[in-house]
Amino acid sequence: MLSIALSKGRILDETLPLLKAAGIVAVEDAETSRKLIIPTSHDHVRLIIVRATDVPTYVQYGAADLGIAGGDILAEYGSDGLYQPLDLKIACCRLMVAVRKDFAYEQAVRSGARLRVATKYLQTAREHFSAKGVHVDLIKLYGSMELAPLTGLADAIVDLVSTGHTLKANNLVAVEEISQVSARLIINQAAFKLKRVQIQPLLDDLTRAVK
């Protein structure tokens, strides 16, 4: 049996067509089902539905053989012991620094001011600002980062941007790109050795589907 861990929402939406191209179809609507383990048309493949941030953990411990996780999550929470053979080129976005429209970011940076930055990406943000030599106080949030500059909680946020509509709707502007993000296939290294016969054809099919 092969288990693939992935999260509901955009990752699942954009993964289903790739799996279909590999001959794997969920037997029920994974998006609306309350089941957390979804069988597929393929006798030996099942989907495991977890929070986006939990995908690497399931694969690291081998509770899932494979997983699909955003590059943002892999960079932030670590990808030790994971084999990352394929960029799926789905759920694409950019990790950006954003501020209120009326906040003079460049000036604040040049003057050496200490910035308050709210984000769920503490590790990634710390590395980014430290490489730039910018002093920051980081505030950990779990969602709706966009609210932080509007309420005075922070001067800036580090968050994902895809269409830019959310920033715009909240009078925020992106001022710096930290990285380009897309979802990757991750594989437990031991599983890749022990279940190579099952995993390799799936990997080949997915590689073709991405192209």
Contact footprint for ligand PRT (CB under 6 A) = 7, 9-11, 52-53, 70, 72-73, 91, 93, 143, 159-166, 181, 183
Q: Which two tokens stand for residue 177?
A: 């790109």
Q: Which residue is nearest to ligand PRT (CB)?
A: 70
Instruction: In angstroms, give the least distance from the CB of 112 to ligand PRT.
Output: 29
What is the CA angle 125-6-182, rounded to 5?
45
**Tokens in use for 126?**
């710390």
- Minimum distance, C-beta of residue 73 to ligand PRT, in the bound complex (Å): 5
| Identity of the residue, 3 or 70, whose beta carbon is nearer to ligand PRT in the bound complex | 70
Closest residue by Cα to residue 59 from 88, 42, 76, 79: 79
CB of 145 to ligand PRT, least distance (A): 7
Nearer to ligand PRT, 57 or 166 (CB): 166
- 181 neighbors 71 (Cβ within 8 angstroms): yes
Nearest to ligand PRT of 50, 134 (CB atom): 50
CB of 133 to ligand PRT, least distance (A): 27
Q: Which is nearer to ligand PRT, 111 or 163 (CB)?
A: 163
C-alpha 95/C-alpha 99 separation (Å) is 13
Q: Which residue has tokens 């031991």? A: 190
Separation of alpha carbons 10 and 13, rounded Å = 5
Query: Which lies closer to ligand PRT via its Cβ, residue 9 or residue 39?
Result: 9
The residue (of 121 and 195) whose beta carbon lies closer to ligand PRT is 121
Q: Calculate the alpha carbon distances from 2 to 57, 60, 65, 147, 196 in Å.
A: 16, 15, 6, 40, 11
- What is the smallest separation between the CB atom of 44 and ligand PRT, expressed in angstroms? 27
Least Å from the CB of residue 157 to ligand PRT: 9
CB atoms inside a 10 Å sphere around CB 67 = 30
Q: Which residue has the tokens 């099942």?
A: 46
